[in-house]
Amino acid sequence: MNPEKAYAELVRLSRDETVLSSCVDLLEWDQEIYMPRDGVEHRSDQSALLAGLVHDRGTNPRYGELLSAIEGSDFISDPDSPEAVNVRELRRGYDRDCKIPRRLVQELARATARASKVWAQARKENDFKSFAPWLDKVFALSREEADAVGHNGDRYDALLEDYEPGMTAEKLSALFTRLSADLVPLVDSLRGQEAPPNVLEGNFDLDRQRVFTDSIVSAMGFDFDGGRFDLAQHPFCTMIGPGDVRIGTRYFQNHIGRGIFAGLHEAGHALYEQGLDRAHYGTPMGEAVSLGIHESQSRLWENLVGRSEGFWLHFYPQLQGSFHEAFQDVSLETFRRAVNRVEPHLIRVEADEVTYNLHIIVRFELERALLSGDLAAADVPGAWNEAYQRYLGVTPKDDRSGCLQDIHWADGLIGYFPTYSLGNVFSAQIFSAAEAAIGPLEDAFAEGEFLELRRWLGDNIHRHGMRYRSEALIERVTGNSPDPSALIESLSQRYRSNAGTSAGRA
């Protein structure tokens, strides 16, 4: 087969598959935002039918023939060319899909649907015992999946590959050991810090919160002609296609911080999607690198931009204008300290940016032990509580606020948690590289100027799609391999000075 023709057909197959799967995404978006409750049954029929079609296309043997025709020729010379990247990544996805037997795919889907239901009930009733057999079942099936995909002795690597291609458990373990060695003492040193007045709680009009958040994401460069913001039960961001990136977010009447920062977080994801190269839509060159890199974009805007002094120098007067009663007597410094408050507690999704990574390290340790068989599901509550005491100095009073808090394992998402912390690690490295290239950014933020940072991220990260794996991309952009020092330095600098000015004590 002529390799050029084979490549053209390969791109067509990949585009068609992506377009079809974007219809599933649109149905899911509608289900979150608009669908009436009674539509759920017909919607699951629609989604299941389309998901089956997407799966059939993904495992079409024609992929194998076309890929072999290209790989056996001298059609590709430069390993970083779009053609090489597309062939490399399509081969990876195709092989993976073909290696997992259809029976296992269906069994996983059934078991995780059931396990998620049992988990929701168990969490409500604080009854871990009823969930334990399902947790064992999900991990047993995940072991089967890892073995089907193949690995070099560590099954965890095979699962991780799905979310963070190229990353391994060993590398993660080394990175997290360094991260926790510095984070635990940092958290300890902040423990005695006088808590800032909690000015984020009160009564805040939801519409005004939405208008204020819209003005922030406009300043960040979110393109409202190529995207939407809607109200949803849980924050999310989904790309339907070029020119159509949608965010769902939620505001809380009694807390002004949660909605704004969730909006900034999702907008960070959306800028990445809007910054992908449209010419490559439907192929790996037009897709995000990994979950870790995706999360680095959301965390960068949420934490490194959104919690900075410069950012609030610009936006706080507007916030005071919108919520005059709540903030007329609150100084900028008091407000800034309130959005930078550190306090170890039990719930991951409510954690501040300093303690957050310790929540992830606990989950990484436990899911590795569960997968290897060193830990049985029945022993999870004890292991969980011990790890929380060791890393965060707190012990859950029940499993609801302990090992039953996250849906991920019930949903079969094993190897997913670490990408949250990788995102934090990468975000600090990327932000520091951006400042090295552009100059200090806080002064620009104080002027309401965010577009230069957005452009730099677009040039250095977004437009490359999957050209480089996450580690290679970080090395290219920052000059260093993935490394927690930038995050530790950034957190120490910002939070230690916080403690110093607030309490004025050693």
Active site residues: 266
240 alpha-carbon distance from chain centroid: 18
The arrangement of strands across the sheet holding 227-231 comes to: 227-231, 244-249, 236-241
Nearest to 473 by CA among 455, 461, 487: 461
* Comparison of 361 and 370: residue with beta carbon closer to Zn ion: 361
Region from 93-101, 226-234, 292-300, 327-335 binding Zn ion, contact rule CB under 5 A: 292-300
Q: How far is the CB of 269 from Zn ion (least distance, A)?
A: 6
CB of 229 to Zn ion, least distance (A): 16
Strand runs labelled E in 146-299: 227-231, 236-241, 244-249
Site stretch for Zn ion (CB under 5 A), options 58-66, 296-304, 428-436, 485-493: 296-304
**Cα–Cα distance between 308 and 321 in angstroms, integer?**
20
Closest CB to Zn ion among 96 and 250? 250
Q: Which stretch binds Zn ion (CB under 5 A): 139-147, 243-251, 297-305, 477-485?
A: 297-305
- Looking at residue 301, its amino acid is W
Pick one of 180, 297, 298, 405: the residue that binds Zn ion (CB under 5 A).
Answer: 298
Residue nearest to Zn ion (CB): 298
Report the nearest approach of Zn ion to the CB of residue 423 (Å).
7
Cα separation, 190 vs 104, in Å, equals: 48
Which residues have a Cβ under 8 Å from the Cβ of 95 and sit 6 or more positions away?
none
* Window of 239-247, 298-306, 369-377, 410-418 that interacts with Zn ion by CB under 5 A: 298-306
Cβ-based nearer residue to Zn ion, 424 or 498: 424
Instruction: Kindly tell me which of 296 and 478 has the beta carbon lying closer to Zn ion.
Output: 296
**From the centroid of its chain, how far is CA 202?**
29
Q: How many residues bind Zn ion (CB under 5 A)?
A: 1
* CA separation, residue 351 to residues 102, 337, 347, 422 (Å): 39, 15, 6, 16
Distance between CA 415 and CA 84 in Å, rounded? 27
- The residue type of 281 is Y
Least separation in angstroms between CB 420 and Zn ion: 7
**Binding pattern to Zn ion, positions 74-113, x when CB under 5 A?**
----------------------------------------
**Smallest distance, Zn ion to C-beta of residue 292, A:** 11
Nearer to Zn ion among residue 229 and residue 335 (C-beta): 229
**Minimal distance, residue 32 CB to Zn ion, in Å:** 16
Task: Read off the tokens for 462.
Answer: 């977004």
**200 vs 264 by CB, closer to Zn ion:** 264
Each residue of 459-476: b (16+ CB within 10 Å) or e? Answer: ebbbbbbbbbbbbebbbe
| Whether the Cβ atoms of residue 375 and residue 369 lie closer than 8 Å to each other | yes
C-alpha Rg value of the chain to the nearest Å: 23
Tokens, residue 132 = 């334990």
Candidate segments 61-69, 294-302, 317-325, 482-490, binder of Zn ion by CB under 5 A: 294-302
Binding residues (CB under 5 A) for Zn ion: these are 298
